[in-house]
Amino acid sequence: MSDIIVSDVSKSFGREILHSLSFTVSSGDFLSITGESGSGKSTLLAIMGGVLRPDAGSVRIGGVDIASLSEKELAKMRRTSLGYVYQFFNLIPTMTVRENILLPLVLDGKKPSLYKDKFDELVAFTHLRAVLDAYPDTLSGGEQQRAAILRALIHDPEVILLDEPTGNLDSENAEAVMRLLSDLNKTYGVTVVQVTHSEQGAAYGRTRIHLKDGRIS
């Protein structure tokens, strides 16, 4: 099982955005990262997911320093052991929901048919059966977010990182997505790390980190 160990991570964009942050996310935890707009939440999440490299410090997942991985290995990690959900879903508009969900497998050269049981289970879990053959722009915001989450889960990752999973949703859809994350954490033991503006959303987490000007406060 993979703890995520963040050690002395700093990042500058002209000025320093993250100031030597250190913390550990234990395997199976549900962490909420909160803080004002501009406090560095998305930057931190991107570093934890290997989307951005820190200027100093390290992120180790399951003992592997992700800075030691090549771009290709990082991309593979994001498609396999990590699930990363961007703020604006990132579903591909010209593919159906089913094709979007299966895309990480196809990119990885895996046969989707081998994942049929997992696929069916997750489709039931996320209540997306009725929209599988539809295109993303015909779905509600909540359905699109659930499809993006399902796509990040098809590989059975140990960790899922989400940037504002409820940022674009009304309160009813937001609650459904938060319940889904909570169930994922409890039922499958997936480690969940979410960035959120929402107090209600943050309360679903078990642990919380609050960022203020790039420091844990």
Ligand X SMILES: Nc1ncnc2c1ncn2[C@@H]1O[C@H](COP(=O)(O)OP(=O)(O)OP(=O)(O)O)[C@@H](O)[C@H]1O
Please state the three-class secondary structure of 52-103 as a single string.
CCCCEEEEEECCEEHHHCCHHHHHHHHHCCEEEECCCCCCCCCCCHHHHHHH
Give the contact letters, 43-62, x = binds to ligand X (CB under 6 A), - = no: x-------------------
Pairing of strands 56-61, 4-13: antiparallel
* 196 lies in the site for ligand X, by CB under 6 A: no
- Nearest alpha carbon to residue 184 among 160, 209, 155: 160
Write down the least CB distance from residue 194 to Mg ion, Å: 12
Write down the least CB distance from residue 42 to ligand X, Å: 3
Which member of 34, 42, 145, 194 binds ligand X (CB under 6 A)?
42
| Cα–Cα distance, 159 to 81 (Å, whole number) | 7
Q: Measure Cα distances from 110 to 76, 151, 206 in Å.
A: 13, 14, 34
91-130: which residues touch ligand X (CB under 6 A)?
Answer: none
Give the contact letters, 64-93, x = binds to ligand X (CB under 6 A), - = no: ------------------------------
Write down the least CB distance from residue 98 to Mg ion, Å: 30
| Cα–Cα distance, 188 to 71 (Å, whole number) | 29
Judged by CB, which is closer to Mg ion: 136, or 165?
A: 165
* 194 lies in the site for ligand X, by CB under 6 A: no
Which member of 35, 50, 165, 205 binds ligand X (CB under 6 A)?
35
Binding site for ligand X (CB under 6 A): 13, 17, 35, 37-43
